[in-house]
């Protein structure tokens, strides 16, 4: 979805709007940059994120020297028409330090989304001998049964085992639930939407 450049409030911030870059798969915030109208126009035309560099005083396409491009997946504008959100497919690390994100968080709190993407990739690109490949060959009943087993083990760990063991069993349960959802053609997004609907 392209943005109508003329609807943005360029005057409020002297012709430069802040742009938040978010990983389209994990929703992790990767960086913050700035765009003028020309940078946004180039971004939308080429599908790669181009900023206006305040230090270099020119347009700057992320990845032009490192090849760590940010490919645009979706664009959004906030309610005041003065901030842009871009969900992007990040090729390589986003930060110039070599980190995935410019924000130094302790861990990727959205790793569950990344795990779901790993499972999806195993479906699209099967690896002979991999756990997912072996389980898929046994069929839906076995995959569903495994979720039940991990659920019981999680309950036992919660009642009678250590915190570390509970975390381990709960992790196994989440993994196998994601696996089962994929087998049924569903995703964690479907669950999130249903939970949101229930909350309302």
CA 110 to chain centre: 7
Q: Of the CATH numbers 1.10.357.10, 3.20.20.140, 1.10.486.10, 1.10.287.1080, which one belongs to the domain with range 111-199?
A: 1.10.287.1080
Distance of CA 106 to the CA centre of its chain: 17
Distance separating alpha carbons of residues 57 and 60, to the nearest angstrom: 9
Q: Break the chain into its structural domains and give their ranges.
A: 5-90, 111-199
Q: In this structure, what token pair is assigned to residue 39?
A: 């940078």
d(CA 20, CA 178): 29
Tell me the fold of 5-90.
Answer: Ubiquitin-like (UB roll) (3.10.20)
- Picking from 20, 13, 72, the residue whose alpha carbon sits closest to that of residue 37 is 13
Q: What is the pLDDT of residues 149-196, one digit of tens each?
A: 999 999 999 999 999 999 999 999 999 999 999 999 999 889 989 998
Residues 119 and 25: their CA atoms lie apart, in Å, by: 13
Confidence check: pLDDT of 131 > 90 = yes
Share of the chain above pLDDT 70, in %: 97
- Do 30 and 104 meet the contact criterion of CB atoms below 8 Å apart? no
The whole-number pLDDT of residue 109 equals: 66
């Amino acid at each position: 979805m392209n943005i109508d450049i003329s609807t943005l409030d360029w005057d409020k911030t002297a012709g430069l709007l802040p742009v938040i870059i978010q990983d389209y798969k994990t929703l992790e915030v990767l960086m913050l940059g700035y765009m003028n109208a020309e940078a946004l126009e180039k971004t939308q035309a080429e599908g790669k994120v181009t900023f206006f560099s305040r230090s270099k005083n020119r347009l700057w396409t992320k990845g032009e020297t490192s090849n760590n491009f940010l490919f645009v997946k979706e664009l959004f504008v906030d309610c005041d028409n003065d901030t842009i959100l871009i969900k992007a497919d990040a090729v390589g690390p986003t930060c110039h330090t070599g980190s995935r994100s410019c924000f130094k968080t302790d861990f990727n709190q959205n790793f569950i989304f990344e795990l779901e993407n790993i499972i999806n990739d195993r479906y699209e690109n099967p690896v002979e001998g991999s756990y997912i490949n072996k389980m898929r060959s046994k069929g839906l009943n076995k995959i569903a049964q495994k979720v039940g087993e991990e659920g019981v083990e999680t309950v036992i760990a919660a009642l009678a085992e250590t915190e570390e063991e509970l975390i381990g069993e709960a992790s196994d349960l989440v993994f196998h639930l994601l696996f089962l959802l994929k087998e049924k053609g569903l995703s964690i997004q479907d669950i999130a939407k249903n939970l949101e609907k229930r909350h309302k």
